[in-house]
Amino acid sequence: MSENKVSEDKNSEEFDVVVVGGGAAGLSGALTLARARRSVVVIDSGEPRNAPAAGAHGLLSRDGVSPLELLRIGREEVAGYGGQVVSDVAVSARRVAGGFVVEAGSGRRFRARRLLVTTGLVDEVPEVPGLRERWGRDVLHCPYCHGWEVRDAPIGVLGGSPLSVHQALLFRQWSAQVTLFLHTGAELAEDEWERLAARGIAVVDGEVTGLEVVEDRLAGVRLASGRRVPVEALAVATRMVARGEVLAGLGLSAVEHPMGVGTYVPSDASGLTEVAGVWAAGNVTDLLANVPVAQAAGFQAAAAINADLVAEDTDAAVARRRSAAVSEAASEAGSGGVFGPAGEAEVCARVLGERRHGLEPLPRSQGPAQA
């Protein structure tokens, strides 16, 4: 097991892996790495995306747990295996000989052989008064996270996103009272009208300008026309923007998602990014991942990182073994070794036997021929 220590820089602490971001993906990855006996540190600013939500759902054995409680438990589990969690903000990362250096807002520096970036994303909520204040309560985004809690209630879906129609069709699974507000979105295609109608989803034209709230509960939405439509929950597809600023020093940046729903940091199935030695997991690379998916991605990336480190450690061990063998041979040669008189005599004896002196046995004399 590698132990963190102060590197030659004297100002940076050294680890096998630095995890940037301490949400579900980051803590899952850190836990996996710590259990693999890797030295690991998590740098987290304490701003989880789902903090406003009352509970995280779909988590086997912990369904409904408070998001902040889930993270508290996760930090304790990581620490229980020797991992560290540092409350700080990672502001930059750069490549150095043998790995990377991550600098935090406090000035602390962390050197690592590998990086796991799990910084998540920021939800850009549409500019409708009242949406942000009720985000994560009765203004929702994911039916798998919140659908059960609003089942059978009148649910509105705010249009304007490429996912709005899809979102309306999904929420129809939880309630027969679903209304799609076109808001500022583009005109629907004919097949979209048909699919919505087939599922009994109402469509309301006009821009949404505000919310109706009664006793701190959503009661409806207001349109620019002055019309009020009653709903008890409003689904909103936000623009999701990856928090990838820390990667700029590595030449890695977030790009536009193919679905047009935000930006993300591309990675392969294991989480490996375009920069060797840097993995990403969770919402920073998968905009649609919920908590269980983010946890799984953190585990998968950590396993890939550990395998990569095992390969590097093994290559180094092989190189040391070969170097030792060469040194030993050179040492033997310096003292005569197999090329000294004694060594050469032994080789000759084994290979040539009695012929080693260059003498052939004399042939036996033949007697007189017999008549």
Q: How far apart are the first and last CA of the chain?
A: 91
Which tens digits make up the pLDDT trace of 354-364? 665 555 555 55
Phi, psi of 51 (to 5 degrees): -55, -35
Distance CA 219, CA 138 (A): 10
Q: Does the pLDDT at position 235 exceed 90?
A: yes
- Amino acid residing at 100: F
Whose tokens are 């009242």? That residue is 130
Q: What is the pLDDT of residue 363?
A: 54
Which tens digits make up the pLDDT trace of 192-203? 999 999 999 999
Distance CA 98, CA 216 (A): 55
What average pLDDT is seen over the chain?
90
Which tens digits make up the pLDDT trace of 93-110? 999 999 999 999 999 999
Selected residue with higher pLDDT from 8 and 52: 52
Distance CA 343, CA 335 (A): 11
Q: Does the pLDDT at position 224 exceed 70?
A: yes
Q: Does the pLDDT at position 234 exceed 80?
A: yes
Q: Report residue 271 as tokens.
A: 């989480």
Dihedral sign for Cα atoms in the order 339, 345, 350, 356: positive
Closest CA to 278 of 112, 109, 122, 32: 112
Q: What's the average model confidence in pLDDT over 268-286?
A: 97
Distance CA 134, CA 140 (A): 9
Distance CA 157, CA 237 (A): 8
Which tens digits make up the pLDDT trace of 236-274? 999 999 999 999 999 999 999 999 999 999 999 999 999
Which tens digits make up the pLDDT trace of 289-337? 999 999 999 999 999 999 999 999 999 999 999 888 887 777 766 655 5
Helices (H), the chain: 24-35, 67-80, 143-146, 164-171, 190-198, 291-334, 341-352
Q: What is the pLDDT of residue 369?
A: 47
Q: Does the pLDDT at position 2 exceed 70?
A: no
CB contact at 8 A, 110 and 122: no
Whose tokens are 């030695």? That residue is 277
Predicted confidence band at 145 (pLDDT cuts at 50, 70, 90)? very high
- Amino acid residing at 162: P
Q: What's the average model confidence in pLDDT over 78-86?
A: 98
Percent of the chain at pLDDT exceeding 70 = 86
- Amino acid residing at 266: P
Selected residue with higher pLDDT from 370 and 115: 115
Q: What is the pLDDT of residue 228?
A: 97
How far out from the chain centre does Cα 249 lie? 19
Q: What is the pLDDT of residue 10?
A: 53
Q: What's the average model confidence in pLDDT over 112-127?
A: 96
Q: What's the average model confidence in pLDDT over 5-12?
A: 52
Q: What is the pLDDT of residue 1?
A: 45
Which tens digits make up the pLDDT trace of 156-181? 999 999 999 999 999 999 999 999 99
Which tens digits make up the pLDDT trace of 21-72? 999 999 999 999 999 999 999 999 988 888 888 899 999 999 999 999 999 9
Q: Reduced to 3 states, what is the DSSP secondary structure of residue 314?
A: helix
- Amino acid residing at 356: R
Distance CA 29, CA 344 (A): 59
Q: Does the pLDDT at position 19 exceed 70?
A: yes
- Among left, alpha and beta (phi > 0; psi -120 to 50; other), residue 120 is left
Q: What is the pLDDT of residue 339?
A: 55
